[in-house]
Structure 1
């Protein structure tokens, strides 16, 4: 007994048992949307979904997302979007994420031009609350829908995943705010994020897996929109990435505070920024090419034009040209100028699931354990 106790102290990760996560509840934006925006407002057209699903599947990618690989690794089916009323199965969780979602209430709402999703993090929390309450009524009522609902005990045992905030920064950029003004908005964004985390905690959540935001300055839609922005050594827009890094620093500080405020919960801060940036820094090492160029797009250095988006058409010399995908999406990092390819998503998941980019450094399957420090 004494020996095993010593091992626990010296090497906690080796001695920890894998967690039982019977369900996943995901909150976020298009980085993890498995069909919410498609079911409610905007359906991604072909060639979205071509790599894995061979048809549009509600994801803003050519195939699967990080959340899809995460669900599979925990032995669960793909998460159904909460907003999807057709064929949804919530027995192992639900996905509240929608493309273009923000933490704060945006200035413009879809379908207005340049608008963002009406389903902010606060709305996603309200939807979670609805699911939690109504699902148990349906289970108790019995009938054909009972088995499609999560069991009551799943809500305290589930993994709660978050990937949101990129659009809060993007809205500032595209609203002609200075980078300093966008930075100045981050404390309020964090305040609203923490408030929602606490409300979700109050309804039973205990294990939180929270992604930071990626290198937004490496995305073709930013590079094409701000061509005069100073570039770093790999060609990304330096100042825009610095805003993302500022956001991530404040997110980490917020999580430290949440650990103090909610000592019964576990919070894993996941550094997806570093993993994604490695794809731009050393693409060939990982089997990728042209990381700053969109696979599905049209025109210019970055193959991105906001008026000729993936799946749309563009007029060239009097003819309508379909805006399709590149020959090998599996060798590309960026899919449509904003979102990542399935190949990049799998690369990121494989890295972050080990715990090497997490604080505390526990792998995904041990994310219910609190740091022993």
Structure 2
């Protein structure tokens, strides 16, 4: 029986996008949902006992089965309400925090040089948190405009521009272009934030006029 917990979680991940937009009226249905993980383990023990193993032999599998269940639960909480991996986001935040400190030190050593720290992570997070404000479709913030299907419309074997791929009807309403690059609309909003704020410290035009 190839229906392990990993298989079931994989199926769940693939169906989340359609489930979250099925009559709930918003894209945060998982943040408002109750998740029941169970009765995982019953089939494992049944299979063991039906194979004529003793209870003592079955007991040896308990730690592995419990670990598998616990790891499966953690897989469901590794992603935030926007579908982003929490660990990867934390890595980006730590990088940006340390880089900000280093830029401040460089500035203090070069007081007559204008050094601007432009942010890329922060505007993208803003697009995901408040897509309507930026003119993006909130139902497809993680979907690539150009691709070949799948959960995020990204197939590493058929990248945008290759046979079998196609672009969406309205790229200006999307954030992601091909899974690796943003759309022109997203880059334009980032550029505006760099020029006028708040995504650059100081904003480029303020530094130029100062």
**TM-score interval (norm. to shorter):** 0.5 to 0.7
**Is 1:235 equivalent to 2:67 in the alignment?**
no
**Is 1:352 equivalent to 2:202 in the alignment?**
no
Give the distance between the partners of 1:357 and 1:330, measured in 2 at CA: 20
**Structure 2 match to 1:326:** 168
**Is 1:311 equivalent to 2:161 in the alignment?**
yes
Q: Secondary structure at the match of 1:353?
A: helix
Q: TM-score, normalised by structure 1?
A: 0.34
Give the unaligned 5+ runs of structure 1. Answer: 1-226, 314-321
**Structure 2 match to 1:336:** 178
| Residues 205-244 of structure 1: pairs in structure 2 closer than 5 A | 230-244=78-92
**Structure 2 match to 1:284:** 132
**Is 1:302 equivalent to 2:152 in the alignment?**
yes
Q: Secondary structure at the match of 1:346?
A: helix
Q: CA deviation at 1:309?
A: 0.6
Give the unaligned 5+ runs of structure 2. Answer: 1-74
Q: 2:96 aligns with which of 235, 241, 248?
A: 248
Note the alpha carbon deviations across 1:196-237, whole angstroms, 9 max, x for none.
xxxxxxxxxxxxxxxxxxxxxxxxxxxxxxx97811121111
Q: CA deviation at 1:357?
A: 3.0
Q: Secondary structure at the match of 2:167?
A: coil
Q: CA 1:368–1:347 in 2, change beyond 3 Å: closer, same or farther? A: closer
After superposition, the CA RMSD in angstroms is 2.1
Q: TM-score, normalised by structure 2?
A: 0.58
Q: CA deviation at 1:355?
A: 2.9
Q: Secondary structure at the match of 1:267?
A: coil
Q: CA 1:369–1:284 in 2, change beyond 3 Å: closer, same or farther? A: closer
Q: CA deviation at 1:300?
A: 1.5
Runs of 4+ with >3 A deviation = none
User: Could you tell me whether the CA contact under 8 Å between 2:145 and 2:177 is conserved in 1?
Assistant: yes
Note the alpha carbon deviations across 1:109-158, whole angstroms, 9 max, x for none.
xxxxxxxxxxxxxxxxxxxxxxxxxxxxxxxxxxxxxxxxxxxxxxxxxx
Q: Which has the higher strand share?
A: 1
Give the distance between the partners of 2:148 and 2:172, measured in 1 at CA: 19
User: Could you tell me whether the CA contact under 8 Å between 1:311 and 1:323 is conserved in 2?
Assistant: yes
User: Could you tell me whether the CA contact under 8 Å between 1:272 and 1:352 is conserved in 2?
Assistant: no
Higher relative contact order, structure no. (Cα contacts within 8 Å, ≥ 6 residues apart): 1
Give the distance between the partners of 1:368 and 1:298, measured in 2 at CA: 43
Q: CA 1:369–1:262 in 2, change beyond 3 Å: closer, same or farther? A: farther
Give the aligned length. 134
Q: Which has the higher helix share?
A: 2
**Is 1:274 equivalent to 2:122 in the alignment?**
yes
User: Could you tell me whether the CA contact under 8 Å between 1:232 and 1:238 is conserved in 2?
Assistant: yes
Give the distance between the partners of 1:286 and 1:261, measured in 2 at CA: 38
Q: CA deviation at 1:349?
A: 1.6
Give the distance between the partners of 1:323 and 1:272, measured in 2 at CA: 27
Q: CA deviation at 1:254?
A: 1.1
Give the distance between the partners of 2:125 and 2:100, measured in 1 at CA: 18
**Structure 2 match to 1:364:** 204
Q: CA 1:242–1:291 in 2, change beyond 3 Å: closer, same or farther? A: same
